[in-house]
Structure 1
Amino acid sequence: MSKPICFYDIPGTSKAVAWSPNTWKTRFCLNAKGLPYKTIWVEFPDIEAVCTQIGAAPTGKQPDGSPMYTLPVLHDPNTGATVSESLAIARYLERTYPGPVALIPPALDGLVGDFQKAVWAAFGLPMMRLVVPAVHATLRPGARPYFRATREARFGQPLEELAPAGSALRAECWAKTREAAGVLAGWWDEEANTKGLVPRAAEEAGAGERTLLVSDALPVSYADAIMVSWLYWFRECLGEESGEWKTMTAWHGGRWVRLMAAMEKYAQVDSGESVQLSKL
């Protein structure tokens, strides 16, 4: 590789600047593989225009049937490839740059897509109600009107009504989100217990649980990047000092903080450069 990969991400006002769970998946992959790259920061209103400009494929359809463009997108000047969507990017990187870390072991390639969908399905709408309003506050001011308009159209109500502070609805959303995280914790523990890696007594005490999903002997896997990216989404949007985030860090004996710590060495964020097409 002679030229850095161009990685398209969405900027925010959080300490890390990066906040999106989907783009964090790609950032973890690039960092874990040690590939040189440059972040191209794209504001929300400019995503479609930038994607069409660089030839990135849409990742879905809008409610009216028109193409939907999302980030992350990766452009690799070394191969000429432009790839949309986090899982497709992870597979491209694994295929094109197989060393030094196998993010998607060959035997698990057919399952990783199902795992990504399962994580989303486990959290679902209750999580979205909690975090989407916080995303609005995390974005740079000029991008907020576009985000508000598009998300309120999608949900059919003002952002402030999705899960109002102090409401019974918000408490219910948090309870369901915690329950979903417990289901995911069980996947980690089931994998470990199947292989005899975690004594049941230690697991119940909240100690010695499996940290990384595929193997604690491997540096990282794409499955781990998926989960930690969701956790980063909560932290960066709710705020590291917020009471809700601090409560979340104590869930399930603090296991999710330990998973984040195991992945921290792959969480570097470069300064990159910004592209701005719209008048914000």
Structure 2
Amino acid sequence: MATSETDVIILYDIPSTVPGNAWSANTWKTRFALNYKGIPYRTQWVEYPDIAPLLTSLGVSPNTPSTWTFPYTLPAIYDPRTRTVLMDSIKIARYLDETYPDTPAVLPSETRVLQHAFQPSLFSTVHEKLVPLVLAPCIEKLNPPSALYFRETREVLLGCKVEAISPPEKRAEQWAALEKGFSVLASWFEAAGDGRLLLSGGGPAGDASRVSHADISIAGILIWVRIILEEESEEWRRIESFDGGRWKRYLGFFEQWADISR
């Protein structure tokens, strides 16, 4: 596989002030997939206000609007080998599987329906519960142009200040809802009855040959929250302790594909 600068895939990601820049749950999904597959790529950092102009200039069709989806979002990739531009991590995963069939598949055809169905379930069960707790800390990790854009767009969506969605008197209730959400997620794994670490199988230690996009999606959420809350914080330690430490073990398994050097 060629690795010259002009041949490699460009991953469009959102910069921040954290070490290594990468922080977003959604862009981590594609970064994990590229690293897992061993596909050479380089990162082009794009501040929030520049995402729509960039993707429009590249001819990307906008997302269908929904409550938490904006017309143009990252991750996106450009593959110079095929002159293909794609937005949305699950579409990118399918493209990478089909275009680079000699790499391990994360979205095989026989699981695509279930993996697509998993995404809204994961959002409503865990991701949505995290939003009130981490939205304001996200702003603190962004560069000024992105921080302003992020705040303004989210406050229009929420109809209030970002800080108002998690006032002190509600935080205990919100944390309880989050812990319950993670427990529901854990129950999906436990339903297999074999002690698996990953949704796709692999036993308690995981299996590097059996990683799905659904697994990567969970890892993306976890690494996002660890970065935003900070690894040594009491809040992150609390999440690590949920479900007997399952999520600490889970993210630990994905550290082997958490390269942010490119």
Q: TM-score, normalised by structure 1?
A: 0.85
CA distance in 2, matches of 1:224, 1:184: 12
Answer whether contact 1:56 1:73 (CA < 8 A) is retained.
Answer: no
Answer whether contact 2:8 2:40 (CA < 8 A) is retained.
Answer: yes
1:157-208 residue CA offsets vs partner (Å, 9 max, x unmatched): 11111113xx2311111111111111111111112x1xxx2xxxxxxxxxxx
* Higher-RCO chain (CA-CA 8 Å, sequence separation at least 6): 1
The 4+ residue runs of structure 1 with deviation greater than 3 A are: none
For these two proteins, the number of residue pairs brought into alignment is 251
Seen in structure 2, the aligned counterparts of structure 1 residues 26 and 189 have a Cα distance that, compared at 3 Å, is same
Q: Which amino acid aligns with 2:40?
A: P
Deviation at 1:132?
A: 1.2
SS of 1:58's equivalent in the other structure is coil
Answer whether contact 2:97 2:108 (CA < 8 A) is retained.
Answer: no
CA distance in 2, matches of 1:125, 1:265: 27
Question: RMSD of aligned C-alpha atoms?
Answer: 1.6
Answer whether contact 1:8 1:74 (CA < 8 A) is retained.
Answer: yes
1:181 and 2:189 are equivalent in the alignment: no
SS of 1:60's equivalent in the other structure is coil
1:239 and 2:238 are equivalent in the alignment: no
1:249 and 2:252 are equivalent in the alignment: no
CA distance in 2, matches of 1:180, 1:232: 17
- Number of the residue aligned with 1:82: 85
Q: TM-score, normalised by structure 2?
A: 0.91
CA distance in 2, matches of 1:159, 1:138: 14
1:151 and 2:154 are equivalent in the alignment: yes
- Number of the residue aligned with 1:200: none
Q: Which amino acid aligns with 2:185?
A: L
1:64-111 residue CA offsets vs partner (Å, 9 max, x unmatched): xxx710001111000111111111001111111122312123321111
1:78-227 alignment, distance < 5 Å: 78-123=81-126, 125-164=128-167, 167-191=168-192, 193=193, 197=194, 209-216=195-202, 217=207, 218-227=209-218
Answer whether contact 2:48 2:145 (CA < 8 A) is retained.
Answer: no
Answer whether contact 2:14 2:46 (CA < 8 A) is retained.
Answer: yes
CA distance in 1, matches of 2:212, 2:20: 22
What runs of 5+ residues in structure 1 fail to find an aligned partner? Answer: 198-208, 272-280
CA distance in 1, matches of 2:165, 2:170: 8
SS of 1:75's equivalent in the other structure is strand
CA distance in 2, matches of 1:61, 1:115: 19
Q: Radius of gyration: which is bigger?
A: 1
What runs of 5+ residues in structure 2 fail to find an aligned partner? Answer: none
